[in-house]
Amino acid sequence: MPEVNSIFYDKYNSQIRHIVARILNGAGQTGYIDDCVNEIYLELIGKLKQYNETRGSIGAFVAIIARSAALNYCRGNTRKINELVGDDKIDIISEPVEVEDKLEFEMLVKSIKDKLNKEERILFTMRYIYYYSPDEIAKVFQIRRNTVDKRISRLRNKVKNILIKGGLNL
């Protein structure tokens, strides 16, 4: 079982901070990033014993915990989820509540990403894991916003079909 130590901190701190910053900045709660990151480390200390390497990488596990904690942190600050990330950002997958669901969520994300090509995996990760806006994605790839919207729409449909074929009712 991994431990939260300086090596773990060095390896995952930037990933955790990036996820938290994306979510909290979008919610107008930039001043709470350090507090949220500290809460994530406390949560990780308790939940790392539940990590199962056969279900996915430790990095993905940490990302799911960070994402969930950041969204919960925003909710705890008396904001509605639609105000936090906008209706257009809650597109495909709703966030799990229980730890077992988080592990299933991690496996689901991995199985989806395994069925996507490289470009789709990058777009999926940027949009649905790190919450990049379409404008930010367009800037990164140096393409028009309209092109990004079309690619996101096609990606959403592809992921929806993957989920339906996998037996998930949407």
The arithmetic mean of pLDDT across residues 41-52, rounded, is 82
Distance between CA atoms of 169 and 160, rounded to whole angstroms? 10
Count of domains in the chain?
Answer: 1
Tell whether 102 is covered by a domain: yes
Which amino acid belongs to residue 33? I
Tell whether 1 is covered by a domain: no
Cα 159 vs. chain centroid, distance in angstroms?
15
Tell whether 170 is covered by a domain: no
Tell whether 113 is covered by a domain: yes
**To the nearest whole number, what is the mean pLDDT of the chain?**
75
Quick one: pLDDT band at residue 170, thresholds 50, 70, 90? low
* Residue of 6 and 135 predicted with greater confidence: 135
Q: What was the pLDDT predicted at 75?
A: 67
The arithmetic mean of pLDDT across residues 162-168, rounded, is 71
